[in-house]
Amino acid sequence: MFRRILIAVDGSEAAGWALDAGIDLARSLSHAASTGAQGAEARVGVVHVVDHCDASGLDDADLRDVRPDLPRALRRQGRQILRDARERIPAGVSGPGDGAGPAPGPCLLREGPAADEIVAAARDWHADLIVMGTHGRGRLTPLLVGATVEEAGFDERTTTAGVRDLIEAAAEIVPHTWTAGFSAARAGLRPATPDEIPVIGRSGILPNLVYATGHYRNGILLAPLTAQLVADVMLESKTDPILEATSPRRFGL
């Protein structure tokens, strides 16, 4: 039976359920051992992994540039999570120290990719069982990768080459991407003009028609300015000099 149970905790509700389940299992096994029914007393170990990449998407060097105290803060948070877990382990459940004393612990703080470090901790301690909660994901949280730019007309299909290039680029930044499951790929159309300058302004053919289109890759970025320019034209008949460059007349519109 299980003599060494390693429970992974991260302070989440799911990890709390896993901790309770692991403790209940250890208590049941220890009780069976004390009555002579089977096996030996079960011991409980608790591990928390400081996963810098999972926390921020950056490696240690980048973390020092963006927020020098973040790695230290993550370690401090990890130690608190372990202290909270230790307090939840009842005195009657022994820890993975020498002998079968009543004190829970020790609790293990490791750093690196969470999945790898949990397995390594279990291997180092010779754990018989790993107990951990699920957040509905595998080794990685859902990862959205994009995007390519291709002259495709109105074809909304993705291409093998485009998907391959994006996966390879993502794996260079987050190596564990290679072990992640593939969910889906999609393509979207970006309306563009021949000169890649938006069409904004009053039509030269239909005076009551105002264009605001063809922003290509910058639709979200230019939305506030476009809204202001169009509002000025429609509500106040005011034409900003910038509209000379975006005039529909350059395309005979």
pLDDT tens for the 253 residues of the chain, in order: 677 889 999 888 888 888 888 888 888 776 666 665 555 677 888 999 987 655 444 445 544 554 556 678 888 888 999 999 888 887 655 444 433 433 355 689 999 888 889 999 999 988 889 998 876 544 446 788 888 888 888 888 888 888 889 988 888 877 777 777 788 888 888 889 999 999 999 999 998 899 999 999 888 889 999 999 999 999 988 888 888 899 999 999 9
Output phi, psi for 44, to 5 deg. Answer: -120, 130
The total number of structural domains in the chain stands at 3
Please state, in angstroms and as integers, the Cα–Cα distance from residue 182 to each residue in 1, 140, 164, 169, following that order. Answer: 37, 11, 12, 15
Residue of 116, 130, 104 lying closest to 50 (CA atoms):
116
Domain with 158 in it: 140-189
Q: Are residues 83 and 155 in the same domain?
A: no
Structure tokens belonging to residue 51: 């996963």
Q: Which string of DSSP letters, residue by residue, matches 226-252? A: HHHHHHHHHHH----TTHHHH-GGGGT
Tell whether omega for the bond before 106 is within 30 degrees of 0, i.e. cis.
yes
Q: Are residues 8 and 105 in the same domain?
A: yes
Q: Are residues 91 and 19 in the same domain?
A: yes
Half-sphere exposure of 32 (CA within 13 A, CB side): 13
Q: Are residues 49 and 147 in the same domain?
A: no
Q: Are residues 175 and 208 in the same domain?
A: no
User: Do the domain assignments include residue 152?
Assistant: yes
Q: Are residues 25 and 87 in the same domain?
A: yes
User: Do the domain assignments include residue 207?
Assistant: yes
Q: Are residues 181 and 153 in the same domain?
A: yes
Counting DSSP H helices and E strands in the chain, the numbers are 8, 6
User: Do the domain assignments include residue 236?
Assistant: yes
Q: Are residues 67 and 37 in the same domain?
A: yes
Q: Are residues 87 and 66 in the same domain?
A: yes
Radius of gyration of the chain (CA): 29
Q: Are residues 78 and 35 in the same domain?
A: yes
User: Do the domain assignments include residue 62?
Assistant: yes
User: Do the domain assignments include residue 10?
Assistant: yes
